[in-house]
Structure 1
Amino acid sequence: IWGAENLELSFKTWMCGGTLEIVPCSHVGHIFRKHSPHFPYNGMTGVNVLKRNSVRLAEVWMDEYKIYYYDRIGHDLGNFGDVTLRKNLRKNLHCKSFKWYLDNIFPELFIPGDAVTSGAIGNDWSGLCIDSACCKSTDWRKPVGLYPCHKQGGNQFWMISKQGEIRRDEPCLDFTGGEIILYPCHGRKGDQYFEFDYKNKRIKIGVRNQCLAISKDKKRLTVNECNANDATQNWEIQSLEDKRVATHR
């Protein structure tokens, strides 16, 4: 059934002894039907087939790294069925670990485990969270949005790196004096360095005496002089622990 098969083919091929080659002259077409023939799934209404298959993929192939995908979907796995036969097949084929895949096939991938913490970044005063699509380069270099906090991960899932970045895999929040935008992470801190004051619920931007805030009309992210009495600058970071909020320069 359609959903995540492209990832499974890659994982299974590489981890079980095969290779994938890029042939420059080859062309692949993917034609979508107007209506999916797989809904409802086995007569079950309300089942997200893509999500269900993605969870099955994670359970079978991603080992301990599956937790990072589950973080993104708020650990709402749903009923993904029995994957015992698929796990046994992987075992019988003597397939390698997902760590091997990351180390040898995709070493440039940012691993969320390298982050200080992760979760939604919500503003107490407004009930809004930092929210932005990020997975396509067309989502970058655009102002980062706000949306009511929904506790479902997705576009509200952010990682705080050891370098003080607020990132979503490849892009980071970036401030050069205008709007807060998503921009490819460069690792040089500067306009992508954010300092977290957990005690006072402030997010300070770089070495400036400026803090992340929400506009009074609650429509956009903005930057103002840090003010302990300004409720628009009050932020909560889901799952942030005291021991993890040391300043990283």
Structure 2
Amino acid sequence: MHPNVRHFPRPDAGLHEGGSHANLEESFGGHMPDRGSIETISVVLPCAEERQNAILTVERFCRRTSPDVLKEIIVVDDGSDPPLESLFKKDEKRLDQDPACRVRFLRHNQTTGLMAAKLTGGREAKGDVIAFIDCHCAPQANWYQEILEQVRINPRRMVVPAITDLDMDIFDERKDSQVNAKCYLTFDADFKWFDDESDFIPTISGGLVAMGRSWFNLTGGFDEGMHGWGGENLDQSLRAWLCGGDIVRAKSSRVAHMWRTGDRRTATHYRIKAKATNNRGRVIAAWFGPFKEVARSSGVDEALVQNYASFKERLHCRPFSYFIYRFRKLYLEGGVVAKESFRLQEASSGKCLQASKHLGTCSSMQRLVLGNVDRQTDKCCSGFRVHRTNNCFDFFDKNGIHLYACDVMGRNLNQQYYLREDGRLQKGESDCIATSGGDLLILKPCTKLAPGEGVFHKIDQEETKEYQVYRRELAKDQWDKKFPYLPDN
């Protein structure tokens, strides 16, 4: 047997008790024939007016990918003017003629958008693995090795490299670069970055991901009904988790990425000419099911996403409740799906807490929920999230409490707020929230509080709608009974 030929268990095999769900498990993920060896990569670069960035990106992937592995580099020119191929022909490096680079050019006559360009390139790719990479990236040495290894382990797998920062001065990884890979899906059909100890990824960010060509084709690749930018990462992530695949990170596969900053070199130079589509709305309509009740963005008519029906049936995809259950530590213990909402009332004034420098009238205050994993217990929760938002109480200064994107895993020390048993609202290790001069919020050592000072209690408590939906769907689908040993992060 070839050393790269392996046989793979079906998704979730061995993670449930008994055999009552065997037929369901045999069909989940559809039938994918043995792919044999997984040895080569097609690098697909969707490029719209990237120009010099495109040339440098191609050069970096050409020079830093083993010729035994690099099947091709596909530059998908999404309506650039002049065409990118003409710029490559004028460039002194002539990468377009370099046999080591194996560059192919595909072109849209008008700028349609990122996902359309990815779909064009993916359908034409010939490598065993397709790596979709933004057209402003620089891979590091051996960037492809762990990606190939991960797809060999599970050919129904999407793999995200370690995404680092691109130094535009040298078009290479910035020294002491940050590393990102993991995101999670929010109920406004968006995504937020986070990190934890698990190598499984709920949601990809979009720009950098690799997968086996057979799995790409079996899942239908990308939603051809999406134009413009955004949303395809959420769709692809849910196709993986709900239809028999998974997503992992490859920590040793480092790819430096250019982020949009104030530097003029990072600005976009294109304008989408295709008719805009509500991509988030398509994700909601296609995947959320009963959770559409709690979506914070508007969906589209389900008739507009009928193109999903064929592959959903082919792969026996599961409902959205499975995704929430699969990542229940993040969604339940992290407070994204909180059990109850409430307001925090200060006992002496009768007014309620808000992200401000003053207490306010309780009836006008936004409702709060508990948020962020408590690192001491690994359970909920270590802070407060503003209900139906992605923001949590964060740092405190002369302007009072500020909001910032929730750090669901509880690593941001600024977001640690605890309502103690004595009613004191503790921030961090030793300070408490109190008031001065009526309703002005101050921070003072908890040991300095006078009797009755800085006492808060919950009022107007009620079960959240999102938890009602999850509780109802879990009772129906019974993932906790079918998969009691399924990882939770």
Aligning the two structures, in what range does the TM-score lie when normalised by the shorter sequence? 0.3 to 0.5
- The two structures have a TM-score, normalised by structure 2, of 0.28
Q: Which has the higher contact order (CA 8 A, sep 6+)?
A: 1
Question: Which protein is bigger by CA-based radius of gyration?
Answer: 2
- The two structures have a TM-score, normalised by structure 1, of 0.47
Instruction: Specify which structure has the higher proportion of strand.
Output: 2
